[in-house]
Amino acid sequence: MRLMIVGKLESKISEAGKIALKRGAKIVHCEDVEQALGALRVGKGADVIMIDVKQDIKTLVASLDAERIHIPVVACGIGTDTASAVNAIKAGAKEYVPLPPDEKLIAAVFEAVTQEDDDMIAGDPAMQKVLKLADQIAPSEATVLITGESGTGKEVMSRYIHKKSKRKEGPFIALNCAAIPENLLESELFGHEKGAFTGAVARRVGKFEEATGGTLLLDEVSEMHPLLQAKLLRAIQERVIDRVGGKEPVKIDVRIIATSNRNLEDSVKKGEFREDLYFRLNVVNLKLPALRERPSDILPLSQFFADKYAEANGVAKKKISKEAEEKLIAYNWRGNIRELENTMHRAILISIEDEIEADAIHLNEAMRSSEASAPATSAPDPSGVSSAGDQAAQGGDAMVGKTVADVEKNLILNTLDHCLGNRTQAAKILGISIRTLRNKLNQYQDEGMNIPASQS
């Protein structure tokens, strides 16, 4: 983890830095907000910013937003100054930590705001085969393409490869190509010069330069516009980039890992993805199996997520009952590990027994493995539109008489429900951009539907 401390080092905020240093964090110190912004613009990246409440937090947060630098801000102050804590949160800080710091509290806050989870549970033979190949190629400089359905853990695998590589001491920088508008993605990747476009108030390095000496993850690279694909190809081949508005090429030193939940060979045939870029990215291909293809990992992952969210929510850890285990094993897991994680998060919160009971495991019953291959016999939905899961289980006949818009609507809303309202996760499962999802939800809300509040 990379921590940026903003404030005077002689204050007690330095103690928080020492705690983070002991836990393996890399520390960058800046005297004030202006210095911090300058450091970020030239590539001294951070996963968390810890700032003294005496500093101008509002200006820092506003500047980060304006320049699209997405880093959580944690405020620190002496003792339990309630007014300072409230003001810091109002100014945009994600958390407030009283000083002098408590080591466990610092660790918990860092974990909460970064949400970094690199645990690799891979006991199933199908996953062991992939892990063996990952271990074999990790020390090399080869570009890696990780493919698989949404929610199979492609970013976790990317971090695993980075930590096993010769670049493990360097930064790991992830960029979701599907989450950034096309007109901004070039600047995010390659950086820009001051005045290159409206809002470019200063020179800023992009993800390629920020990842120097480390690994750059291009998540969902298949969503990248063809014109930008050509520039990415040049960067990989020539090891140089051009900042937006820049006049001189900039040398880069990064290892590229790309992910996609699409069949890129099909995208190449359709003309949606450059063939030459595909071959450059696909030096080594790791295809992650769907969760239903690695059944012996379902229960270990379930217990891991149950323990994780019990600790995060301050509730007692519980084992999973036999009945609940049977229910988990029988399910088809269309949303893969991400859907399982959300299911166990919900389960640990609503469980009322000594063990997590079957009733606490809320699933789309139509997606049970035992029912997936059999004709469904459930009664039709009185509204005339059955759920997308029911339609999938009943086969194509169940969709006859339904409009494409109705089927799409139910699929989107059911997925959003499984993700506890998290738009970003729902979009990944559905294989669409977050912008498309938001537009659809706004449309449904305009039609009078009750849409859950955003959790992303």
pLDDT at residue 397 in the model: 44
DSSP string, 379-428: PPPTTS---HHHHHHH-GGGGTT--HHHHHHHHHHHHHHHTTT-HHHHHH
Question: Which residues does residue 172 pair with via DSSP β-bridges, in sequence order?
Answer: 215
pLDDT at residue 124, rounded to an integer: 93
Q: Which pLDDT band holds residue 351 (cuts at 50, 70, 90)?
A: very high
Q: What share of the chain in percent tops pLDDT 90?
A: 40
Q: For the chain, which residues make up each domain, given as ranges? A: 2-114, 125-289, 291-363, 377-456
Report for 170-184, 320-334, 416-430: range of highest mean pLDDT? 320-334
Share of the chain above pLDDT 70, in %: 84
Residue 303, pLDDT > 50, answer yes
pLDDT tens column, 355-412: 999 999 998 765 565 444 443 333 334 333 333 444 443 444 445 556 777 788 888 8
> pLDDT at residue 301 above 50?
yes
Tell me the mean pLDDT in the region 41-70.
85
Helices (H), 78-150: 82-91, 103-114, 125-137
Q: Each residue of 135-190: pLDDT tens digit?
A: 999 999 999 999 999 999 999 999 999 999 999 988 899 999 988 887 788 888 99
Return the residue matching tokens 């020179």: 203
Same fold, 291-363 and 377-456: no
- Supply the pLDDT for residue 137: 96
Residue 456 DSSP symbol? -
> What is residue 120's predicted lDDT score, i.e. its pLDDT?
81
Identify the CA nearest to 327 among candidates 294, 290, 371.
371
What was the pLDDT predicted at 209? 92
Q: What is the pLDDT of residue 388?
A: 40
Strands (DSSP E) contained in 184-335 are 215-219, 240-241, 250-251, 255-260, 284-287
Can you tell me whether residue 230 is helix, strand or coil?
helix
What is the tens place of the pLDDT at every residue in 204-255? 888 999 999 999 999 999 989 888 999 999 999 999 999 888 888 999 999 9
CATH architecture of 291-363: Orthogonal Bundle (1.10)
Cβ–Cβ under 8 Å, residues 314 and 172: no
The Cβ of residue 452 has, within 10 Å, a number of other Cβ atoms equal to 14
Q: Which residues pair with 192 in a beta bridge?
A: 204, 244
In the CATH hierarchy, which fold is given to the domain comprising 125-289? Answer: Rossmann fold (3.40.50)
DSSP label of 95:
E
**CATH architecture for the domain at 2-114:** 3-Layer(aba) Sandwich (3.40)
Between 455 and 396, the higher pLDDT residue: 455
Between 336-350 and 404-418, two packed helices, what is the crossing angle to 10 degrees?
60
Strand partners, 379: none
Which helix (H) or strand (E) element contains residue 172? strand 172-176
424 has a pLDDT exceeding 70: yes
Q: Which residues contact 386 (CB under 8 A, 6 or more apart)?
A: 380, 394, 398, 402, 410
Q: What's the CATH number for 377-456?
A: 1.10.10.60
Q: Give Dmax (Cα) for the chain.
A: 71
Rounded CA-CA distance 222/232 in Å is: 12
